Amino acid sequence: MRSKRRNTQSKTLARKIEAMKKIKQAYLAAQEAGTVKTYNISVD
């Protein structure tokens, strides 16, 4: 019998994975649109 904990962890992980996919899509769309700016930070 599968534990409830394993099922519920899978739900959270699935939700996170879907969110990451959307983030990736947004980032790639921003790259296409030329709205990505990167700053390199160095501290002592």
Which stretches of the chain bind other proteins, using CB under 8 A?
5, 8-9, 11-13, 15-17, 19-21, 23-24, 26-27, 29-31, 33, 35-44
Closest CB 2 distance from other proteins, rounded Å: 14
Instruction: Give the burial class of 28: count Cβ atoms within 10 A of its Cβ; 0-12 exposed, 13-18 middle, 19 or more buried.
Output: exposed
The distance of closest approach from Cβ of residue 34 to other proteins in the complex, given in angstroms and rounded to an integer, is 10
Q: In the bound complex, what is the minimum distance in angstroms from residue 41's beta carbon to other proteins?
A: 5
Contact criterion met (CB below 8 Å) for 19 and 27? no
